Each structure stands twice: as C-alpha cells, then as structure tokens.
C-alpha cells in the first residue's frame, strides 16, 4: 500500500521544508513543485537497503520508518546502506524533527499533497510488466472489475462480471466529523498540539497519538469507531474536550496558562492559516 496522505502531512510538518540530512539545506517544496522524496529507513521490498523482514506492511509505510530527503541524498542513502544504517537514519530523523512544529497549516497540507502525488506517480511507474502465457480468466461475484496485463500476452483474456455493482460507501457517514475535511483537519491539528505539548515528558509520539485517540474514544464512547465517526454536531464538544481537558493539563499547556498565552489557534484562525 502507498504511504498515506496523513503520514506525508505529518512528515512534511516536521521537516521544516528541508532535507533531513544535517548538512543539506535543500528545500523539499519550491512554490508548487515537489522536490522531496520519501525514503524508507527499512526498505519496503526484499533486497532493498536496510530491509527488515520483521516489519509488517503497515509498519513499512508508517511515520516511524519514513524520512523526507532531497533526491541527491535519497540516492546516496539507499546506495550506501552500510554508511547510512537504520540506527544512523533513525538518529538523523529524530534530530531533524526534534525542534519542528506539529501544526499542519492549509498551505503545508497543499505542499504535502504535492509530495504525496509525486510518490503515487513514482510507485505507478515502478510496476514492471511481465509476459503472460496461456489464458487469463478473471471473475467477480459482484460489482465491476478492471484488469491490466503488462508485457506480451499470448493467450486469451476472459473477463466475467456477475451481480449488480455495489454502491461504494464512504469511509465516514454523512454529517460526521470525518466526512468534513475542515472539521477533521482541525481535530488533527489539536491532537498534534497535544502530542507536541506532551513531548517534554514523553518522546514516543506514536504512544501519544494512541493515548489521545483512546481518551477521545472513551469520552465519546466510540468502542471500535474512530473520532472521525463522531457526529458533526458534537464538533464543538470535542474541541472543548481536547483543549479544556487535555491541552490545559499538559506541561506546555500549564506554562501557557501561567504566562497568560493562548494554547492554540481557533478553528477560524486555523482555516485561514494563522
């Protein structure tokens, strides 16, 4: 599976729009052009640099296993796995992202989308064709089917489609927070702020993301559902919960309160990129 847009947004937000190699100052996005390349610390495929068979497919494309580099250093890193080991790249990633911001502004989201689109295009080009001999037969019990055969096909291809096409359901129900990009984006921003505010006492960001997610699920009794399933009418309550009960009780949040400064941007300010 390709790296998700959410992960790319998080990577870009923490990159400072700069290649992660300490001595490189190359930007990752210039105006509306993506230069960035997504480097896997542990390769996705067997035989790749620093491949680890113990990693699952999801772990290979997870935030912890990815780092944004310029094309030059991506090539150097992957051609020199002995020099750029897993430990070295992990340390470079940690150092590069340590002082970065967690907020994803609308402009940063647009730039991250450019990187994501470039990666998808790259992945589609990397699929190699191979010759097909004999007959190929594809069937579907319901819905449609699309088949692409690369190489030189020397056999007959039969495609059988059965049943009525099923209407594809959205990931989130209508009128839910997840169905509205602005509502979902602001909640992601607040969760990012929670992770950032907790960083002085907890450096495991994945654990912090899991923690805030669990708090939200418990508060809104989601059971097996995610925060995106919360009805849009409860958006204000969710915002108040994260700010008043979570951000204010973090070390950084307490410091903001003592100094009389605001904890975060309002929804409107966030939408305007302030």
CB count in 10 Å sphere of residue 2? 14
And the tokens for 95? 């150092």
Cα separation, 258 vs 246, in Å, equals 16
- CA dist 195 and 193 (Å) reads 5
How do the pLDDT tens digits run along the chain, 274 residues long?
578 888 888 888 888 888 999 888 888 888 778 889 999 999 988 889 999 999 898 899 999 999 999 999 999 999 999 999 999 999 999 888 876 666 677 788 888 888 888 877 776 655 444 454 555 555 554 555 555 555 545 455 555 555 544 444 457 888 899 888 889 889 998 998 998 888 888 878 888 888 898 999 999 998 878 888 999 999 999 999 999 999 999 988 898 899 999 989 999 888 877 6
**This prediction's pTM:** 0.47
Residue-level pLDDT at 149: 54
Burial of 98 (0-12, 13-18, 19+ CB in 10 A): exposed
């Amino acid at each position: 599976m390709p790296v998700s847009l959410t992960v790319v947004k998080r990577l870009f937000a923490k990159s400072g729009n700069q290649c992660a190699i300490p001595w490189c100052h190359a930007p990752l996005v210039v105006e509306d052009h993506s230069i960035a390349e997504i480097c896997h610390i542990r390769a996705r495929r067997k035989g790749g640099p620093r491949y680890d068979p113990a990693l699952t497919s999801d772990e290979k494309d997870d935030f912890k296993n990815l780092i944004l580099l310029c094309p030059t250093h991506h090539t150097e890193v992957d051609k020199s796995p002995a020099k750029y080991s897993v430990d070295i790249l992990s340390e470079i990633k940690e150092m590069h992202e340590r002082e970065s911001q967690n907020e994803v502004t609308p402009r940063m989201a647009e730039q991250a989308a450019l990187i994501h689109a470039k990666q998808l295009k790259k992945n589609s080009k990397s699929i190699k064709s191979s010759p097909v001999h004999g007959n190929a037969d594809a069937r579907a019990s319901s819905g449609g089917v699309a088949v692409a055969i690369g190489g030189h096909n020397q056999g007959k291809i039969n495609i059988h489609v059965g049943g009525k096409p099923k209407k594809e359901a959205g990931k989130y129900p209508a009128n839910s927070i997840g169905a509205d990009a602005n509502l979902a984006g602001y909640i992601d921003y607040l969760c990012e702020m929670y992770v950032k505010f907790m960083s002085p006492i907890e450096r495991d960001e994945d654990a912090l993301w899991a923690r805030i997610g669990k708090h939200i699920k418990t508060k809104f009794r989601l059971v097996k559902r995610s925060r995106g399933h919360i009805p849009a009418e409860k958006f204000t309550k969710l915002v108040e919960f994260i700010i008043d009960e979570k951000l204010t009780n973090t070390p950084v949040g307490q410091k903001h309160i003592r100094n009389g400064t605001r904890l975060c941007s309002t929804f409107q300010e966030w939408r305007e990129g302030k």
